[in-house]
Structure 1
């Protein structure tokens, strides 16, 4: 009886996963083996799309930019998320006022859509007359900084905007993990004379390791798939200095109508995400 009820409840979920997740993934893999375009009905199977993408020097430059963007964003989001979560948790342990306000302020950046984030940071960093930061820089130093129009600075500007956006997500996950750590561990460490740093590195970090792993996987995958904020902030420019793979997939499919080549990029992105997830998992397991 229990087994029959199990299948009754799990079947709708399985059907939804197959229809909305598994089927689209299979179709992406299938389209990657074709030369299909959105404006043509006839297409043929082959590996010409893979040959085109992998032999294109722009792809490898774009891959390098994507890796820099993802891992810089991941590290900084994790770092600032951990600091903010620890400070909030410590403030609540000491019954300090204002911790709820801090959480709400940090969460505001997370709930704003990516396109709006891009527009906001464009207004903040632009060299035009409406650029807020450059307005004050010009008042103080009589010059402007090319945050978005310089190929050397644009990528760093995009990373900063993405970190500002994504730190809240890391803070939420790590804050939840901190709440699961027993207070008795800290009390025992205090009795033994442990300092605040000792408690942090010998209790907090080891106890948070599984949560940090989940956080790293989620923000890495999420950042690899980020394109809306970049599209609104720089459009992938100047030149192609901020064009990541996810943005190129969007431009390839909807701008150039090359569904086959866009699917190849999506497949490559899928295996990159899978490889990084397995690496994180093996790293965490080997440390235990």
Structure 2
């Protein structure tokens, strides 16, 4: 039986310090007073140690991902804010539902949800924050159901704010979070091959839009959320783990930090700002 690892709970602190995963190093962002830290390809134990260490140093997570036999990636900020937050890893579908129900009672909403695997082997990880406002969370969605929920959410004034794909190449499933749309027009795409995604990127960029969320599916396709916000950014897809690290090293001196990292099947996609 898989045991859910409750790494940090809302309004609680777990003690413990461990050496960092040898994936990335902390770096100051372009914004004064803000620091960030990112890691990827971490085992469950390494991820848990990172959470305890970064929590103790005053960081809070903004995005999390699980993929490929339970390997974790995440990005953390240290910006002076202290939202009530929690992060869980190693959850089964039923464990994720129990944590979701408990979060509702605590006034917490999921802000980043990721899953990998299929059938009885699905593993979830997620970040919760204490916040108000309307939101919707759905998992185990087929592509058709994912498209339908997006349309329903948009009609209610919600926008897709977290997305991931899991399952198998022949049976892709989606998990998403939709929150109140306060940032204007948005679009979503899914099931796009690398070539189609790149064509969409060029077309959207010409109209002032850019990807703000991206997810890799088990069949090698990509899902994304697009917005027009004028932010400086970089977006790369179809990277290996080492390829992601190379891009990370190249963009860090330019003052760009990853704000979302996603992987599946050994392929990474990420967005920097």
TM-score (normalizing by structure 2): 0.21
Q: RCO (CA 8 Å, sep 6+): is it higher in 1 or 2?
A: 1
Structure with max Cα Rg: 1
TM-score (normalizing by structure 1): 0.21
